[in-house]
Amino acid sequence: MRHHLMNIYRLGIKELWSLRRDPMMIFLIVWTFTAAIYMAATTMPETLHNAPIAIVDEDASALSARIASAFYPPRFTQPARLILNEVDPGLDAGRYTFVLDIPPNFQRDVLAGRSPRIQLNVDATRMSQAFSGNAYVQQIVMGEVNEFVQRYRGSTVPPVDLALRARFNPALEQSWFGGLMEVVNNVTMLSIILTGAALIREREHGTVEHLLVMPVTPTEIMFAKVWACGLVVLVAATLSLNLVIRGALHVPIEGSVLLFLAGTALHLFATTSMGIFMATLARSMPQFGLLLMLTLMPLQILSGSLTPRESMPELVQNLMLLAPTTHYTELSQAILYRGAGLDLVWKPFAYLLVIGAVLFSLSLARFRKAIGQMA
């Protein structure tokens, strides 16, 4: 046993030295866990922020002026004033997301008790702003009209006082979600890339043949790649949590970082095995890159890190229970956001252990077959 452990240790050190001599891979690791995370957190789209809006005021009344003055930053830009024949060119050029057309005699019809129509033109190619912004515009217009008709600014006392309590993110900061989820997604991506690239690099450089004549087994070779690449990602994720998430972004972490890193280690056991399996299928780095895109995007998009799993079709929810990213995302959100302990996240830990063992066994069988073909 001691002999096998020493072989695994020495082969792992060899992997670390090989990685050290690869400047592009070092750059990828540093970029992925620093600048990429910072940009993903700080560029998370707000619900509605500085949406460009223009107003066509065909009424030129006190009510239309009141409506126009109700749109202001930070939700909207300062409204531009257009004439009717400038609407379509402005929308076609992409200068405005919303154009509000207030018809002639609008104020007179409102005071007469009629139901005049006011037109809102929306550039629906800007999905995030168009989806939430049209509701804001309608709410603002109706609020101004109602206050104008009542002759005073105010609101009736609602029969129920709704007390809103935003837990785990009281200020609803977008960076709190974006930064942490980017770390989770990058752990998966980089662990697959490192292990797959390590195996393909050895095949391309011809060093696999050197391993075949050494007194080592395929199991030892694979264990060495798993622990070496997993250790690199684990250290990078730890530094990123402390330096980028806590330091640069000032995002509080509610739960135990050690518990999160333990879950990360189990997840890395599964994803590094997956990277080796994919590398045995690909014959070159370009093929591995194409296979990575086909695999990584569904793993991350359907894991629950971007949208809740409950909003997905039931078939997709059930299939994704076989993916390690689903359980890793669940335990990461529970620990980092809600401060959950092991008593609440032991199930995802258990699932990751089982999935990792299955993936390692499948990858080892495939790796042995690939090694045999090289021999």
* Domains, the chain: 2-43+174-374 (no CATH), 53-150 (3.40.1710.10)
Q: Please list the residues that pair with 99 across neighbouring strands.
A: 54, 121
Cβ-contact 56, 101 below 8 angstroms: yes
Neighbours of 291 (CB within 10 A): 16
Give me the tens of pLDDT residue by residue for the chain, a chain 375 residues long.
788 888 888 888 988 998 888 899 999 999 999 999 998 888 765 567 788 999 999 999 999 999 999 998 888 889 999 998 999 999 888 899 999 999 999 999 988 888 888 999 998 887 777 877 888 899 999 988 888 887 755 555 667 777 777 777 776 777 788 888 899 999 999 999 999 988 888 877 777 667 767 778 888 888 999 999 999 999 999 999 999 999 998 888 888 999 999 999 999 999 999 999 999 898 888 899 899 999 999 998 899 888 888 888 899 999 999 999 999 999 999 999 888 899 999 999 999 999 999 999 999 999 888 776 655
Q: Is the pTM of this model over 0.95?
A: no
